[in-house]
Amino acid sequence: MNCGLLTNKNEPVPLKHIEVDLQVQGHVATVTSTLQYINEEENHLEAVFVFPMPSGAALCHFSARIADQEIVAEVQEKQEAREQYDDAVSSGQQAFLLEESEESADVFKMSVGSLPPGQSAAITFIYITELSVQADHSLQFCLPAVLNPRYTPAGSGGGIVSEITSSSSGIPYSLSFTAHVSSPNPITKVESKCPLEPLMFLNTDHTKAKVSLCAGHMFDRDIELYLYYQNPHQLTAIVEAGSPAAKPGTLLGDPVVMVSFYPEFPESVMSSVSSCGEFVFVMDRSGSMSCPMHNGQGAQERIECARDTLLLLLKSLPMDCYFNIYGFGSHYESFFPKSVQYSQDTMEQAVKKVNEMQADMGGTEILQPLEHIYKQPCIPNHPRQLFIFTDGEVGNTKDVLHCVKSNADVHRCFSFGIGEGASSALITGLAENSSGHAQFVSGKERMQAKVMQSLRYALQPAVIDITEDWTGLSFTRLSPPINSLFHGQRALIYAQLKGEECQNPDTKGKISVRYRLGNQEVTNTVHFSLKPAEESGLAIHRLGARSLIRSLERDEQDDGADKEALKARVVELSKQSGVSSSHTAFIAVHKGSGQAVKGPLVKRRIPTPMFMACSMGVNLCKAAPMNAPKGHRLKMFKAVPMNAPKGHRMKSRKVAQKAAVFDRLLGRCFCIQSLDNEEMMSACAPVTASGFHPVVECDGGFDMNPDVSVDTLEAPKDPLLQLVSLQKALGCWEMESTLAEVFGRTEKELIEQIPAQVKPDVWATLLALIWLHGFKIDVQDEWQFLAMKAVAWIRTQKVVNQSECVRVGNALLGCQVKEDALGL
């Protein structure tokens, strides 16, 4: 009988504990993770752990401690490192390999080879990452834990992403996490969705602080910290000295500067929005979109949240623009054959179809709909803007990003990662390769607020003619040129400073970024000293190297690129800087006794958390391929244990009553519940008529009473969404009973209070504006475009007694909204 922590197949799990130390300096985070392994079996062991990492992170250290000896890994070309690892393990030596997935830059695989029985090992890796800026001006650090199985279309290589092993029954290892935060400006607070110990300030001016996760945290969901600084939008330039051990003139030998600035656009620009544009909304309708947004009571399904958001977007579009909506899974479909002009009729058609959207289209094949969209002719004077919503569970990330980059000159992409485990490589890559903007929505965050922020960016005049001027400095740029700027969003520049003058700490530097915004020319200038900042362990050098490596890797995907030369340059940079790449890996070998292994070498795959399995007990099996007979195509129903929250059981019954919800689950997906590697490979194997498993296994099941009305199971409608759904394309509301219900009044009460000479639709629209300002001001970002359309429409009606209307409306609704607050 096995002892200790076990997998669901009664196999020991050699990974016992993860300890994470976070060092934050301003906008840069250095993460040190130590993984404790113990082989409690009777045979030599190989432990394989596939885990997520932020796509922009610079992995720069990998080491192992066995007894009192530390073995530090070195960076080698990937195939050479793999061969060295295999040779070492087969000869009985202990070896450690850490490599990045060639399919997706946010997935890594760690192999701990030939651990003898009873042997323990502590594995440490270090990576550096930039903190992302949030809408409330906080800086977000995310330690990703959730790694959902990635859907790989038929014909694509599986690679590392096909080896993801997930657990639905809890993660059999614990985590401790401590963060030390240092900032030039005072730290005002630190927040997290996970329980934290009280924040401890380490000095009187509150520029240094420490915080830890509460004890006993299980690493079953992403850990997010939100850091709030005073004056977060200051223009800054940080110079980091080169390493004394490195040769001058090399990347690590020269100083490197990181410049960050936040463009602040004039109010006249911020208040103006374009009425032009072709807006293409691309919605993930794969089976995984039926999972809840979080594990709490009453959580919306991802597809439900996306539907509500899409409704808000449709109502917020300007008149005279063009739009279309695509849904994709194992295949794709569009609402209209081509983009149509926005009107009351086309909006109503789209809203009707949005309300019928389900997560019923199988796998996650996003490449085909994108290729189709790019083949459509562009509409003159209407720039194409894509809004892509997905939980990001794809395995062919690089193919998708190459397609987007190849068409970057004809569109911008605003991408949204939905739920825990969304691929950061895919979501950020979609935006970066098309001058767009990426957002992530998880837990209890409101998707609507983030999506409307992106719509605001899309409707503002595009920043063009971006140039840089470095005064009096010789430099080599490490980051790609800036090709997009958005109000209040940070832009980062990395550069290697060259020449003797750059070695003099008394030298002053200046960089000016110039661009055209509408009819205005804008210049942002940063002055800085070349005196190096406090010791930071070459963190800025590593991030600069990572930025350059990523840029070269993207260039490899271009048609006609000299792939071998680019690969050689990437390998050279990776070795020189000690930063991982898609072409290199970290390898360490402990020589030990060097005796051949006696008996079998047992492989153990360490499970990673997966949000879907943790929350809903969904079990997906591979569907028949597209060319299989119709009878072989797999139907997937949503199974929920009887001890699940009542709201989840109701949702499952509702889905089941809508008749074979995932009728078109075609292509490839993964068995999610408690898989080891053999089961994963079985799930990925072709399915025959006699070979695939039953889709739903419910212990006890639940009552599928066909007499229960689906409508009775639905949660109460959000009043704001009710109001949104009633607005007309022109921006007005009509007097009707459903509008009165939103206000908590009857239609008769509204009609009786209409001021003289005011038409019913004007009165209804004024009341809607008063209600929004009076009761929903805390989510104004979500309805501001609705209100702008309403105000513009009211102005065309030439209301003579507007002040009286506002006074009566306030009294009727119980508000105290001032007329000037309405923008009239």
The predicted structure's pLDDT at residue 649: 36
Q: Over 90: is that where the pLDDT of 376 sits?
A: yes
The predicted structure's pLDDT at residue 497: 92
Averaged pLDDT for residues 733-761: 95
Residue recorded with tokens 């390998």: 571
pLDDT confidence of 665, banded at 50, 70, 90? very low
pLDDT confidence of 120, banded at 50, 70, 90? confident
- Comparing 494 with 90, the larger pLDDT belongs to 494
Residues 36 and 120: beta-carbon distance below 8 Å: yes
The predicted structure's pLDDT at residue 171: 56
Residues 542 and 570: beta-carbon distance below 8 Å: no
Q: Which of 163-167, 560-564, 647-651 has maximum average pLDDT?
A: 560-564
Q: Over 80: is that where the pLDDT of 722 sits?
A: yes
pLDDT confidence of 146, banded at 50, 70, 90? low
Q: What is the pLDDT of residues 547-561, one digit of tens each?
A: 999 999 988 888 788
Averaged pLDDT for residues 18-31: 92
Most distant CA pair in the chain: distance in Å? Answer: 98
Q: Alpha-carbon distance 363 to 667, whole Å?
A: 6
User: Range with the lowest mean pLDDT among 56-60, 486-490, 771-775, 811-815?
Assistant: 486-490
The predicted structure's pLDDT at residue 682: 36
The predicted structure's pLDDT at residue 11: 60
Q: What's the token pair of residue 257?
A: 């500067």
From 453, 450, 407, select the one nearest 430 (Cα to Cα): 407
DSSP category for residue 12: B
DSSP category for residue 659: T
Residue recorded with tokens 């906008």: 27
Per 3-state DSSP, the chain is made up of helix, strand and coil in percentages (nearest 5) of 30, 30, 45
| CA 639 centroid distance within chain | 27
- Comparing 166 with 508, the larger pLDDT belongs to 508
pLDDT confidence of 572, banded at 50, 70, 90? very high
Strand partners, 18: 35, 175
- Comparing 504 with 790, the larger pLDDT belongs to 790
Q: What is the pLDDT of residues 349-369, one digit of tens each?
A: 999 999 999 999 988 899 999
Q: What is the pLDDT of residues 230-243, one digit of tens each?
A: 987 778 888 999 99
Phi and psi for 796 in degrees, rounded to 5? -75, -15
The predicted structure's pLDDT at residue 273: 72
DSSP three-state, residue 318: coil
Q: What is the pLDDT of residues 393-404, one digit of tens each?
A: 677 888 899 999
DSSP three-state, residue 60: strand
The predicted structure's pLDDT at residue 150: 44
Q: Alpha-carbon distance 139 to 54, whole Å?
A: 15
Residue recorded with tokens 């932020």: 54
Contacts with 542 (C-beta within 8 Å, 6 or more apart), sequence order: 58, 60, 128, 577, 578, 579
User: Range with the lowest mean pLDDT among 35-44, 560-569, 705-714, 747-756?
Assistant: 705-714
- Comparing 338 with 504, the larger pLDDT belongs to 338
Amino acid at position 490, single letter = R
Rg (the chain; Cα; Å): 28
Q: What is the pLDDT of residues 63-91, one digit of tens each?
A: 988 878 888 999 999 999 999 999 998 88
DSSP 148-182: PPPB--TTS--GGGGG--EESS--SSEEEEEEEEE
Sheet containing strand 174-182, edge to edge, reads 69-72, 58-66, 120-130, 28-38, 15-25, 174-182, 208-212, 200-201
The predicted structure's pLDDT at residue 603: 57
Q: Alpha-carbon distance 431 to 551, whole Å?
A: 14
Averaged pLDDT for residues 133-152: 72
Q: Over 60: is that where the pLDDT of 819 sits?
A: yes
Q: What is the pLDDT of residues 509-519, one digit of tens each?
A: 899 999 988 78
Q: Alpha-carbon distance 213 to 694, whole Å?
A: 41
CA distances from 138 to 192, 230, 488 (A): 12, 10, 12
Q: Over 60: is that where the pLDDT of 4 sits?
A: no
Q: What is the pLDDT of residues 644-660, one digit of tens each?
A: 443 443 343 344 333 33
From 544, 538, 549, select the one nearest 584 (Cα to Cα): 549
Residue recorded with tokens 């309300």: 355
Domain 236-265+463-577 has CATH 3.40.50: no
Q: Over 70: is that where the pLDDT of 128 sits?
A: yes
**How do 278-284 and 322-328 pair as beta strands?**
parallel
pLDDT confidence of 276, banded at 50, 70, 90? confident
Q: Alpha-carbon distance 293 to 301, whole Å?
A: 6
Contacts with 812 (C-beta within 8 Å, 6 or more apart), sequence order: 743, 745, 749, 750, 753, 767
Q: Over 70: is that where the pLDDT of 280 sits?
A: yes
Q: Domain boundaries in the chain?
A: 236-265+463-577, 275-459, 719-822
The predicted structure's pLDDT at residue 356: 93
Strand partners, 494: 258
Q: What is the pLDDT of residues 207-227, one digit of tens each?
A: 999 999 888 766 667 788 999
Averaged pLDDT for residues 674-697: 33
Q: Alpha-carbon distance 808 to 824, whole Å?
A: 16
Phi and psi for 61 in degrees, rounded to 5? -155, 140
pLDDT confidence of 496, banded at 50, 70, 90? very high
Which CATH number is 275-459 given?
A: 3.40.50.410
The predicted structure's pLDDT at residue 656: 35
Average pLDDT, the chain: 80
Q: What is the pLDDT of residues 290-325, one digit of tens each?
A: 988 877 777 889 999 999 999 999 999 999 899 999
Q: Give 808-812's long-range contacts (Cβ < 8 A, gap of 24+).
A: 808/753, 808/755, 809/763, 809/766, 809/767, 809/770, 810/770, 810/774, 812/743, 812/745, 812/749, 812/750, 812/753, 812/767
Amino acid at position 601, single letter = L
Averaged pLDDT for residues 94-116: 85
Q: Alpha-carbon distance 3 to 11, whole Å?
A: 9
Averaged pLDDT for residues 249-256: 92
The predicted structure's pLDDT at residue 710: 34
User: Range with the lowest mean pLDDT among 36-40, 432-436, 803-807?
Assistant: 36-40
CA distances from 512 to 261, 308, 509, 597 (A): 10, 42, 10, 62
The predicted structure's pLDDT at residue 606: 55
H or E element at residue 794: helix 780-797
Q: Alpha-carbon distance 610 to 671, whole Å?
A: 12
The predicted structure's pLDDT at residue 166: 46
% of the chain with per-residue pLDDT over 70: 79
pLDDT confidence of 176, banded at 50, 70, 90? confident
pLDDT confidence of 92, banded at 50, 70, 90? confident
The predicted structure's pLDDT at residue 159: 54
| Strands of 431-544, DSSP E | 437-441, 463-471, 474-477, 491-498, 508-517, 520-529
Residues 176 and 20: beta-carbon distance below 8 Å: yes
